[in-house]
Amino acid sequence: MDKILLVTNSPGQRGLAHYYYLALRDIVQEKNVKALFAKDADYNSNRSFTRRLIKKVESKFFNNYSKWQTNRIVDLVDKNDMTHVVLFNSAGLEPDDISKLSKLPKLKLYQYLSDSPSGMSSEKFKNAIPTLKYFNAVFVYAKSLIPVIYQYGAAKVFHLPFGYCKYTHLKAQPNSKTQHQGIYYFGTWGPLIEDWLSPLATFGLKIEGNSWDRSKFAYLKSAAQKGGIVEGGMAEKAAQSAIVINFIRAQHGCFNSMKTFELAAAGACVITNRTEEQIDYFEDMKEIVYFDSQQDMLQKVEHLLNNEDLQAAIRTNAYNKVQKHSYHERAEMLIGLID
């Protein structure tokens, strides 16, 4: 059977590539799927400890991550069967190394773009966008990005949506006896987001995310929990909250986000800015609550807080709807697209 190799520059075993690995491991034989992270040993690697240590030392002292990671990929490419290599946002590889990989005879190269080009840093854009021509296919999380990525030079573009991880985000069926309290926002600080969140001070907003010490609002600084979002911790707190505020950010195109599905899987009652791509999945006032203006947001937050029955219905309906949108389903889609 063909091999699947997932590559990311995430520093540890978490995030999108990790969720796909966990799902693929359940679907195909474990020996046929591997995942490479920036500074971790391979999943299921048969290399000696000494060899892995040498690789880490080379990466650290020669500061040549792209070459180091490319060599790891080359070493793992099967000499007989085809290896399908999926880079997540180019996985930190530079254009010359991506070009090199694309020329290997027993390797098919794919790109998964989990960011919109408009929201990428200049370094990520440089590695991810001009190299699109080297990939057998490019996967995008939003349908609206398909014509954008074609225009940037991709040969094939497929819609492969976000989802949720059954091992990280999925909680038990929402229980009406649970005491749901508080309003949460999970996400990194940003100057636009803080302006939207600032009026929620009167509702006792709590925040989990990075860089909120940069906020110009003293209340938002104090509302932010120390340490950022812990893997898996978001689902626990979202499941216990009365409401979770979500934002699909303007700089990322206002499409959808990973939390669109993750919060529903946790059994949260979510209110988010209205986007067409979210409407494709969740119905307004039944499975999620959408807002347009800041005033609209505040009115709907107050309405939800005063209507526990509506909260409970939204939690249950969203939880039921999202069941078919796990990364196990997405991994089946991925397998179909690379065959």
pLDDT tens digits for range 22-72: 999 999 999 999 999 986 545 555 555 555 555 555 544 445 899 999 999
For residue 130, what are its two tokens? 């001009």
Task: Place 307 in a pLDDT band, splitting at 50, 70 and 90.
Answer: very high
pLDDT at 43: 52
Surface-to-core class of residue 96, CB atoms within 10 Å of its CB (0-12 exposed, 13-18 middle, 19+ buried): exposed
Per-residue pLDDT tens digits for 249-278: 998 899 999 999 999 999 999 999 999 999
| CA 158 – CA 178 distance, rounded (Å) | 41
In this prediction the pTM is 0.92
For residue 183, what are its two tokens? 């309003």
Q: Which of 62-66, 140-144, 202-206, 280-284 has the lowest mean pLDDT?
A: 62-66
Q: How many CA atoms lie within 13 A of 143 on its CB side?
A: 7
pLDDT at 30: 93
| CATH number belonging to domain 183-325 | 3.40.50.2000
| CATH number belonging to domain 3-160 | 3.40.50.2000
pLDDT at 53: 55
| CA 321 – CA 158 distance, rounded (Å) | 23
- C-beta neighbour count of 116 within 10 angstroms: 20
pLDDT above 80 for 315: yes
pLDDT above 90 for 299: yes
pLDDT at 61: 44
Q: Tell me if domain 3-160 and domain 183-325 are identical in fold.
A: yes
For residue 135, what are its two tokens? 């990939």
Q: Where are the domains of the chain?
A: 3-160, 183-325
The closest alpha carbon to 71, from 44, 43, 52, belongs to 52
What are the strands, taking DSSP E only, across the chain?
3-7, 33-36, 83-88, 107-113, 137-140, 157-159, 183-186, 205-208, 224-225, 243-246, 270-273, 289-291
Core vs surface per residue 218-246: b (16+ CB within 10 A) or e? eebeebbbeeebeeeebbebbbbbbbbbb
Surface-to-core class of residue 117, CB atoms within 10 Å of its CB (0-12 exposed, 13-18 middle, 19+ buried): middle
The closest alpha carbon to 197, from 242, 159, 249, belongs to 249
